[in-house]
Structure 1
Amino acid sequence: MESITDWISALANLAIAVAACFAAWQGVKGLSTWRYETVGRRRVELAEDTLAAFYEAVALIERSRDEIMWSPLMMQRPGREQDTDEVKDRRDSYYVLHLATKDQREFFARFQARRFRVVAAFDRDAGALFARMEDLHRRHQRAVGGLHYWDPGTNLVPKDPQELEQLEQIAWRRHERPDPFGDELHAVEVDAEDYFGPELRLAAAPRM
């Protein structure tokens, strides 16, 4: 027959085994919780950074669309002396816009570089927001570029006054007129708030 000592030893071994299993389960549970909290925290940080980037993108384009009556930079435009008075006046004002859009290129390169990381963390709807902003940025760049090189003596840009007006409506923000391009910009901003905002509000909500 087994002695009491054997039974005590067996129970002790069983207790050790149970304790080891419990400790392993606790470790796995703790690791899962840590991973969940870490991923959640990174997701919230990404949402916050991305929403801030959308705000900055809209602000940069809108700031460059403010109508400028005069700037000393106009006098530094290359080729200014060879232009006729008609071309000179127009291209001087467009030159300031042209410089502003050149300064934006580095920001928008970084902006689009984060696109796939955001899509991986969220979904393709987030990528669609980036695509809309990129489309608006390119349209603004094309409008400014077309106006900057405007010359009625060449075929670089349309000579039709209506087409030139359409380019100016994108390039400039005219406060006294309807601004459909500006409305599109702010619509993307609002949609970005609607998409990323709930993630931030959920993270900020007090935990029970």
Structure 2
Amino acid sequence: MSEIIPLTQAGAVIMACWAIISGIGAWKREFIGKRQIELAEQVLAKFFEIKDAIAMIRSPFSNLDEGKTRKRGDYELPEVSQLLDRGYIVFERYSKKETVFADFMMLKYRFMASFGAEAEQVFVDTSAVLNSIFVSAQMLGTHYWQRQGRVSMEPDEFAQHLAEMRQHERIYWDHGSEDDEVRMKLTSIQERLDALVKPCFQEPMRTYNFLTKQWGQRRLG
């Protein structure tokens, strides 16, 4: 009978060692769940694609052909068409990357089901960033650029006009500054996304400690 107890203890040691030797990756997938890890990786990868897509959309460098696909009004003046086309550039660029944003949004409800309802804010805020670019493009093309140098304004009115126009241009274009509003918002979203999925990639020490503790207690007993 005394020989059976050491054999039981030895079996527990072998099982614990096997779990470690089999690799942290396999251990994580077994304990946390392969699906959750893969979903986290998928959402992260898509978000990185979105950051790249937004950087491309906001690039201040363009060619003369961009914006020309916009449908023109019957009585548009050439100088107005030029300004409206300039504002339309971001919409053209978005259309080339639309599937990236669609794929990301398709993961929304699966991600919420796996990581909690608060995960929805990541998707809401990402859409808000994109929409802010569209709004600024629309306002610049239809209002601010058309008034600039063409409409007589009082000094105070012009100062306000200029400040508002510059604010929209900071959203519309990415000039690479450290305080770029759009990039700062995307960084904030990424940090929150990282925090949500972080538990998936942490060491499963609690379970390991539980197993070794149980084995230690049996050994002392």
Same fold (TM over 0.5): yes
Q: Classify 1:176/1:189 alpha carbon distance in 2 versus 1 (closer, same or farther; 3 Å).
A: closer
Which consecutive residues of structure 2, in runs of 5 or more, have no partner in the other structure? 1-28, 151-159, 213-221
Q: Give the corresponding residue for 2:36.
A: 43
Aligned residue pair count? 165
Structure with larger RCO (C-alpha < 8 A, sep 6+):
2
Amino acid at match of 1:82: E
Match of 1:83 among 61, 77, 83: 77
Return the letter of the residue paired with 1:100: R
1:164 and 2:165 aligned: yes
Match of 1:189 in 2: 190
- What are the equivalent positions in structure 2 for 1:81-120 lying under 5 Å apart? 82-85=76-79, 87-120=80-113
Q: Which residue in the other structure is 1:144 paired with?
A: 137
Contact 1:69 1:93 in 2 (8 A): no
Identical pairs, percent = 21
CA contact (8 A) 1:74 1:93 kept: yes
* Cα deviation 1:130-174 (Å, max 9, x = unaligned): 222122122122222333444449xxxxx9332222221111112
User: Are residues 1:65 and 2:66 paired?
Assistant: no
Q: Distance in 1 between matches of 2:31 and 2:98?
A: 33
Counterpart of 2:115, as a letter, is F
Give the Å deviation of 1:66: 0.9
* Partner in structure 1 of residue 23 of structure 2: none
Change (3 A) 1:51 1:160: same
Match of 1:53 among 43, 46, 56: 46
Structure 1 unpaired stretches of 5+: 1-35, 154-158
Q: Tell me the CA shift for residue 119 of structure 1.
A: 0.9
Q: For 1:199, what is the secondary structure of its paired residue?
A: helix
Counterpart secondary structure, 1:51:
helix
> What CA distance in whole angstroms lies between the structure 2 residues aligned with 1:132 and 1:176?
21
Pair member with larger Rg: 1
* C-alpha distance in structure 1 between counterparts of 2:88 and 2:122, whole Å: 30
Cα deviation, residue 49, structure 1: 0.3
TM-score normalized by the length of structure 1: 0.64
**3-state SS of the aligned residue for 2:66?**
helix
The Cα RMSD (Å) is 3.3
Structure 1 91/202 Cα, relative in aligned 2: closer, same or farther at 3 Å? farther
Q: What amino acid maps onto 1:83 in structure 2?
A: L
CA distance in 2, matches of 1:83, 1:68: 25
